[in-house]
Amino acid sequence: MAGATVTVTDDNFDEVVLKNEKPVLVEFWAVWCGPCRQVAPSLEAIAAEHDEIVVAKLNTDENPATTAKYGVMSIPTMNVYKGGEVVKTIVGAKPKAAIERDLADFLA
């Protein structure tokens, strides 16, 4: 199921991520980032398979304010936000199973 992930920007980050009642996994990525492209299908699958977590993507080149606010220095970085706070950070491309293990606390 394509398009299960949500796109977030500097403008809608507070509304979509910080005020969300569900945990939100935000992948900080860029078009030129090879590892980001590797992890994209895994994130799409997780988004399609798990209603209990929102999976969002933020393009670091187009949204520098949010990227800087959370101190993202390398991509892909995946932050899990719950109650408006970062509760977990995953850095680097990983297989789907490894990402799901990292997210075990947030998945049913």
Catalytic annotation, residues = 33, 36
Q: What DSSP character marks residue 68?
A: H
Query: How far is it, in rounded angstroms, from Cα 101 to Cα 36?
Result: 19
Query: How far is it, in rounded angstroms, from Cα 60 to Cα 63?
Result: 5
Q: Do 79 and 70 form a contact (C-beta atoms < 8 A)?
A: yes
Query: How far is it, in rounded angstroms, from Cα 86 to Cα 18?
Result: 9
